Structures are given as C-alpha cells and as structure tokens.
Amino acid sequence: MKKICSTLVVFFALIGFVAAQGIEFFHGTWVEALAEAKKQEKPIFVDAYTTWCGPCKMMSKDVFTHADVGAFFNENFISMKIDMEKPEGEKFQKTYPVSAYPTLLFIGNDGKVIKKVVGAKQVEDFIKEGKSALGRVENTEAYAEAYEKGDRSPELVYKYVRSMARNGKPNPRIVNDYLRTQKDLNSELSRKIIFEGTSEADSKAFELLVQQRKEIAALVGGEDAVNAKIYGACKATAQKAITMQNDELLKEAKKKMQSYLPGRAAAFSARMDMEMANKQENDKDYLKAAKAYAKAAESEPVTEMRTIAFDLKKRSAEQADALDIAIDLMKTASEKSDQSIYTLSYADLLLTKGKLAEAKAAAAKALKLAEKEGEESMQRAKMVFDKLSAP
C-alpha cells in the first residue's frame, strides 16, 4: 500500500493540472464552424494536425490545455482541431493547403486566412500569435485614431468597443460617452455596443444589458452569451471590491448575481468570499467559504471545481478539513463530467485520503470513460488503474 501510494503521488503530480481549463474546441464541420464564427463575429483558429506528429501531441497535451491559453482562445476564437489525414482534413486542404504539422491557421469568419503559423509553439508564444492574428482582424489602433478625429458613428463605436473588449482592454469612457449621447438605445448596433461594452456590473451598460437581455441575446449568439457577460461583469466588480476591500461593492455584485443569474448566485457568493478570505490571509474563512462553494458547485464549470480542489489539496497539509472539501468538490465534478480526467482527479484525492478501494473504483470508471477519448487518455487511466490494482 505504501509503495502504491508513493508511486501514484508522483504520477498524479505529473497529471494534476492536465486539461485544467484549456481550449474548448468546436465539434462540427468546417461549414458549421464558419456559420458559428459569423454568428458570434469571431475569427477561427484551426489546429491542422496528424495523429503521428510529435509536436502536435505536445501542443495538445501541454499548450491547448493550459488555463491562460483557454481563457484567451475561448473568449476570442471559434477553435477547431482537424486531422489532415481524414476525409474532412483532405477536403479542408483543397482550400487551405498544409504541408507541415502542426500548422496553426487563423481564419476570418469570411473564410480568408489572417495568419498561418507552421510548427509547434509554447504557451506564451502561442498566445502572442493569437493576439497578433486578432490585432489584424480588430485593427484597434485605426478605430482609436478615427474616434479621436471625431468619428462617433455607431458603426465605428461598435468596432472600437468590440476590439478593445476582445483585446482585454475595455474602455468604459467610450461606452459611457455613447450611451449618454444617443437617443435610440434600442437599435441593433446600440444593443451590440451595450453587450460588448459591459465589463463591470456597477455600470450603465450593465443596467441596459439586463433590461434588454432577450433582445440582445438574439443578436449575440443566444442566452448563454449574455449569461456569460453578466457573470463576467459581476465577477469583475466583485474582484474590484476585493482589491479595494469594499464590502458594500462586493454585496452589490452578489445581489446582482442573485437577481440576474440566481442559479449560480450561491456558488458565486462563496467563490468571491474565498477570494476575499485569501486576500486577507484568513484560512478559517477561506475553508468556510470553500465548504459553501462545494455545496453549490453543481452549477459551476468542472474546470473551476478542479482548480479549487487542487488548491484545497495543497492546503490540506496545514488545514485538515481542506482535503475532505476537495473530495466532495471533485466527486461532484466527476459525476457532472464524462471526461476521464475529472474522475482520475477524484481518484487522486481519495488516494491522498488513504481510501484505496474507493480510489480504485474511481480509476475503473475513468478507464471506461477514457475508451471514448483516445489512446493518450487510455494510457493515462490504465496506468493509474493498474497501479491501484497491483498486489
């Protein structure tokens, strides 16, 4: 038992954060991806790969799964993986020739290539390539120059506000100036400006967003897009409150979540309390908030649950209850997701707790899930299961 545990602790340390929060790839045809890109007004990123390509595997394992990569690409691109040796890949190459792997293609929603990068990239360089491609699409500097020269047309303001939002540099002043001077805030362009310009919950744009929620959803890709914007705005306001140590502003962010996203409000409140306690270095309040989060976590993304669970695992050496909370959280994640990595993570936490039989059962479940995911996932799950099953 001791030998099994020590061997697996090393192994789990290696896989602990694999697939933590990476790129969410679009599952569909190229034609469907183009349609979705037009609908969301985003460019497309294509990973043109082959199954035998070593650098392709490296990017899939170490780069596409990275949290920073996921955060940037999920916000700004429709992303696809296309096997160049399968029928869809062969068809794709008739329009977009590929001669080396991986080839990283950035394509506008009009089907025109924005940028083509040959060869694997590490995390930082890959994000730089994405930003470079996005910059060519958005052309923020040109919009800024036109705006400063006096162009206040809704068409220019929309492009300018959208480009700043997608580059992670929202400018509330531009949005507020538009909202203050426009008489018609119910037009299609005004609603798009409101959506793109909503960066915090304590703002006029946010008030208009929730007032025109249904109409804006019809323009920007559906209710999920608006819900994500509401959540992001409430989170930005809450994090500002935490930085300022402003309890009233934090309460406002929580109240707005309760009003407009009630299904996620309890988990949001607990998550922000965790961040506040962490900022104040208050371990007792952190664990209390983490326990509340675990109870409400069913509404939350499994990627976030897993990140918090592993943070709690790190804390368990000094805070005994932390591991139990992590196990509860990861149990919920493993039940919610059909990806093997979450059930393997659950097995890891059970093993850390010394629950070998339960860890083995979780690993067996992960092995079945991995059968649908490919060779790499199968090998990872089988290694864990075999070691847990060893006499």
Domain coordinates in residue numbering, the chain:
1-18+301-391, 30-137
Closest CA to 16 of 262, 362, 348, 274: 348
Asked if domains 1-18+301-391 and 30-137 share a fold, the reply is no
CATH no. of 30-137 = 3.40.30.10
Q: What is the pLDDT of residue 293?
A: 97
Beta bridge partners of 79: 45
Q: Collect the ranges in the chain with pLDDT lower than 70.
A: 1-21
Beta strand 44-49 with 103-107 is antiparallel
Q: What is the pLDDT of residue 132?
A: 87
**Cα–Cα distance, 89 to 155 (Å, whole number):** 37
CA distances from 166 to 213, 217, 218 (A): 21, 18, 20
Task: State both tokens at 362.
Answer: 């979780």
CA distances from 286 to 28, 257, 283, 293 (A): 41, 21, 5, 10
Q: What is the pLDDT of residue 8?
A: 52
Residues 6+ apart with CB under 8 A from 89: 48, 82, 83
CATH no. of 1-18+301-391 = 1.25.40
Q: What is the pLDDT of residue 6?
A: 52
Q: What is the pLDDT of residue 267?
A: 97
Beta strand 113-118 with 103-107 is antiparallel
Query: 3-state DSSP call for residue 207?
Result: helix
Measure CA 257 to chain center. Answer: 19
Q: What is the pLDDT of residue 111?
A: 94
Q: What is the pLDDT of residue 10?
A: 46
Q: What is the pLDDT of residue 12?
A: 53
Distance between start and end Cα atoms, the chain: 8
